[in-house]
């Protein structure tokens, strides 16, 4: 689903993941994901009582934590 701004092009809607889904993707415990969010190492959006993480936020976290 795309978001259309008045007078502008359609912007692709982000894909949102739950903390459980991100934990599965990164192969860590869900508690680890929540701690990463609380310590500001992973950005998230709070929806009600739960966090949602976009695919872009996951990619950003991976980029910022790459080893060289």
Owning domain of residue 50: 12-64
Question: Looking at residue 11, what is its pLDDT?
Answer: 77
Structural tokens at position 47? 């929806």
In a domain, 2, yes or no: no
Check if the beta carbon of residue 11 is closer than 8 Å to that of residue 54.
no
Question: Looking at residue 58, what is its pLDDT?
Answer: 96
CATH of the domain at 22: 1.10.10.10
* Chain centroid to CA 66: 17
The model's pLDDT over 3-42, given as tens digits with 9 standing for 90+, comes to: 656 676 777 888 999 999 999 999 999 999 999 999 999 9
Question: Looking at residue 65, what is its pLDDT?
Answer: 93
- Looking at the predicted structure, is the pLDDT value of residue 51 above 70? yes
Q: What's the number of domains the chain is made of?
A: 1
In a domain, 22, yes or no: yes
Question: Looking at residue 14, what is its pLDDT?
Answer: 84
In a domain, 56, yes or no: yes
């Amino acid at each position: 689903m795309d978001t259309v701004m008045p007078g502008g092009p359609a912007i692709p809607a982000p894909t949102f993941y739950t903390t459980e889904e991100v934990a599965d993707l990164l192969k860590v415990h869900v508690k680890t994901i929540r701690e990463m969010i609380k310590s500001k190492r992973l950005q998230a959006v709070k929806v009600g009582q739960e966090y949602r993480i976009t695919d872009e936020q996951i990619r950003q976290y991976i980029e910022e934590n790459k080893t060289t």
